[in-house]
A and B are shown apart, each in its own frame.
Chain A
Amino acid sequence: MKPYTVAFAGNPNTGKSTLFNLLTGMRQHTGNWAGKTVVTAEGTFTHNGKEYRAVDLPGTYSLYSNSVDEEAARDYIIFEQPDVTLVVLDATSLERNLNLALQVLEITGRAAICINLIDEARRLGIDIDLKAISERLGVPVIAISARNRTGIKELLNQVERVAEGTFVAEPLRIQYSEEIERGIAELLPLVEQAVGGDYPARWIALRLLDGDESLLASLRKASLGIRVSVPKEVSGHGATACH
């Protein structure tokens, strides 16, 4: 049986790679360099006798592309359609991290939220209401410490639920202003006609309203049958104006 694919998404420095390494151990194809995931690492792990293919996406603050890294992460989630997108968040800085989670959940409901560094947060006196977050986002939310290896089993149980389709959420639907919703309503039939049912039409309509040129380029490539996926090696030219 084909292994399930789990894509790891998250802000830089959330311990995403620590978790990835913990799960995949020595079973990785490509390496990555400390602190800066410029190479998309791939590895495998097993849970409950089932094999998983783990893909470590570049650490990003956003999926609204302004750099090669962000485009790579976004294109992977949209075009490769992993069985599970695992969003790894930093428990000590949830406010900013949840931003990326929202962006992923607007694209796909086949996701789970992993709140890492929970031990660090507890030490800082940060109390996180997992149940409330899970209810608001509509997907499983699990707190772990990758460093201390706590919560990993529960995390994998939830990943399994999403992978097997026992748990499927609708992509999160954020209600925008009347003007934007009108624009979406106008574009939606056209987008659905153009891209078919394979891609998140509402999300694409939103990006078109944004004037997101790079997404258009990726869509064009995908529609021509050109494989759009994460470049195996993202070289240093992904420099952005900021950061």
Chain B
Amino acid sequence: MTVTGIPLSEAAKGSVLEISGMSVQGVMRRRLLDLGFVPGNTVEVLRRSPLGDPTAFRVSNTTIALRREESSLIFGNPIGGNGR
């Protein structure tokens, strides 16, 4: 599967992305899907912790914090928001 877009870990704070896919396998993939990181879903980058990791994302009406470890493996295409 070819995944387009930028990793969520690189997305600017405040930006909104449409999830295009992820390169995680196994139980972690399943879990991320269960949390709402489903292709086609929109995700907003809410805020980063002072040290840059983890980052809080808003997906399916819920705030979920992910570490770079995971967020760098989820890809999305920016569709707006007030990110720079």
Contact with B along A175-213 (1 / 0, CB 8 A): 000000000000000000000000000000000001110
Instruction: Return A60 CB to nearest CB of chain B, in Å.
Output: 9
Contact with A along B20-53 (1 / 0, CB 8 A): 0000001110111011100000000000000000
A242 interface residue per 8 A CB criterion = yes
A62 interface residue per 8 A CB criterion = yes
Q: Is the CB of B60 within 8 A of A241?
A: no
Stretch at the interface among B9-17, B65-73, B76-84: B65-73
For the complex, what is the distance from the CA of A61 to the CA of B60, rounded to whole Å? 12
For the complex, what is the distance from the CA of A210 to the CA of B67, rounded to whole Å? 23
Contact with B along A71-87 (1 / 0, CB 8 A): 00000000000000000
A149 interface residue per 8 A CB criterion = no
A129 interface residue per 8 A CB criterion = no
Q: Is the CB of A93 within 8 A of B26?
A: no
B64 interface residue per 8 A CB criterion = yes
Instruction: Return A72 CB to nearest CB of chain B, in Å.
Output: 16
Query: Which residues does chain A contribute within 8 Å of B66, judged by CB atoms?
Result: 241-243
Query: Which residues does chain B contribute within 8 Å of A212, judged by CB atoms?
Result: 27
A210/B30 contact (C-beta < 8 A), A95-B60, A241-B67, A242-B70 known: yes
B62 interface residue per 8 A CB criterion = yes
A96 interface residue per 8 A CB criterion = yes
Instruction: Return B47 CB to nearest CB of chain A, in Å.
Output: 15
Instruction: Return B64 CB to nearest CB of chain A, in Å.
Output: 5
* Contact surface of A with B, Cβ cutoff 8 Å: 13, 61-62, 64-66, 92-93, 95-96, 99-100, 210-212, 241-243
